[in-house]
C-alpha cells in the first residue's frame, strides 16, 4: 500500500475533528495531528474520533492520518500513530507545513516529507529560534492538570514506552 497526499495540519485532535465534520478534509489529504504525544498532549489521547469521522464521511480509504498520538484496536484506514520523536520533542512531524506532500510506503516502511534537506533544516532553525514557544502547539486552549504537566516533564518518547523517567527533568 502506497499513499501520496497533501498535508493538512492540526495542532490537536479537536481541530482535526472540526475540519473533518465541516468537509474541509478531502480525498487525497494526509491528516497530520501533532502535539498529542506523551509530552505534547500530554498523555497520548486516543485518536479514534478522527478516524471514525473520516470513515463516516466516506474518506476512510481516501485519506491517511499521521499523528504522534495513539490508536486503539477500533481504528481503521491508513492510520499511523506514535510518531517519534513527537512534535513536542522536536520531531519532524512538528516541521510539516500545510500543503506539503507526504509519501507513505507501507511495504518499504517509509514516510517521506517531499521537501529538501535544506528546507527541513531551515524550518528546524526557524522553530528553534522561537525559544520557549518552540515545539508547542499554536493557539490551543486545553486545561492541563498539574499531574499531567509533571507527567509531560518526565515522560519518555512513545518509542520507549512513554513511561515516566525523572532523568528527563534532570537533563533540562
Give the Å distances, CA to CA, from 134 to 29, 43, 65, 94, 131. Answer: 26, 19, 24, 10, 5
pLDDT of residue 138: 82
CA atoms lying within 13 Å on the CB side of residue 95 = 23
pLDDT confidence tier of residue 17, bands split at 50, 70 and 90: very high
Catalytic residue numbers read 72
Give the integer Cα–Cα distance in Å for 24 and 26: 6
Q: What is the average per-residue pLDDT within 132-145?
A: 85
pLDDT confidence tier of residue 25, bands split at 50, 70 and 90: very high
Q: What is the average per-residue pLDDT within 37-47?
A: 87
pLDDT tens figures, 78-88: 999 999 999 99
Number of H helices, E strands in the chain: 5, 6
- The three-state secondary structure class of 131 is helix
pLDDT tens figures, 50-67: 999 999 999 999 999 999
pTM: 0.91
State which CATH number among 3.40.50.2300, 3.40.470.10, 1.10.645.10, 3.50.30.80 fits the domain covering 2-143.
3.50.30.80
> Is there a cis peptide before residue 96, judged by omega within 30 degrees of 0?
no
pLDDT confidence tier of residue 172, bands split at 50, 70 and 90: low
Annotated domain spans of the chain? 2-143
Amino acid at each position: 500500500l502506497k499513499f501520496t497526499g497533501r498535508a493538512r495540519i492540526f495542532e490537536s485532535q479537536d481541530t482535526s475533528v472540526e475540519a473533518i465534520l465541516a468537509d474541509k478534509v478531502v480525498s487525497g489529504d494526509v491528516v497530520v495531528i501533532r502535539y498529542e504525544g506523551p509530552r505534547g498532549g500530554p498523555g497520548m489521547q486516543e485518536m479514534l474520533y478522527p478516524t471514525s469521522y473520516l470513515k463516516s464521511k466516506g474518506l476512510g480509504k481516501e485519506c491517511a492520518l499521521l499523528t504522534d498520538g495513539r490508536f486503539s484496536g477500533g481504528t481503521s484506514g491508513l492510520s499511523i500513530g506514535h510518531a517519534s520523536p513527537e512534535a513536542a520533542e522536536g520531531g519532524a512531524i512538528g516541521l510539516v507545513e500545510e500543503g506539503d506532500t507526504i509519501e507513505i510506503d507501507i511495504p518499504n516502511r517509509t514516510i517521506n516529507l517531499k521537501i529538501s534537506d535544506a528546507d527541513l533544516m531551515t524550518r528546524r532553525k526557524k522553530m528553534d529560534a522561537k525559544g520557549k514557544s518552540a515545539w508547542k502547539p499554536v493557539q490551543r486552549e486545553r486545561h492541563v492538570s498539574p499531574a499531567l504537566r509533571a507527567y509531560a516533564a518526565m515522560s519518555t518518547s512513545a518509542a520507549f514506552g512513554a513511561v515516566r523517567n525523572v532523568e528527563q527533568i534532570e537533563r533540562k
